[in-house]
Amino acid sequence: MNENKTSVTKVRGEHCLNIFVSYELKEKLKALAKKYDRTTSDMVRAVLKIGIPMMEGLSEAEEIMVKEYIALFRKLRQVKSLKEI
């Protein structure tokens, strides 16, 4: 029965992410952490948890907008070519 299960092994440090940010952003995060008595890491995790769904929504909206713009452009081009005939 154990043969069918895939074993999940975690490599030490696999869950870590190193990022470089501006000094201004780092200071804002540190100020928020101090204000709400949290660690800077907790603030970064919270910002990522909140920001990822927002970024997904913005990206989806942008994708829809581009598709609709292209469809509109094609339609206008067809109308223009019909008027020339």
Query: How do the domains of the chain map onto residue ranges?
Result: 23-84
**Tokens standing for residue 79:** 């109308």
pTM: 0.60
Q: What are the residue ranges of helices labelled H in the chain?
A: 23-35, 40-84
**Tokens standing for residue 27:** 């200071």
DSSP state of 2: T
pLDDT on residue 85: 65
Residue pair 29/43 in contact by the 8 Å Cβ criterion: yes
pLDDT on residue 11: 74
Instruction: Note down pLDDT in tens along the chain; length 85 residues.
Output: 555 666 667 777 778 888 899 999 999 999 999 999 999 999 999 999 999 999 999 999 999 999 999 999 988 888 777 777 6
**Tokens standing for residue 3:** 């043969």
pLDDT on residue 61: 97
pLDDT on residue 13: 72
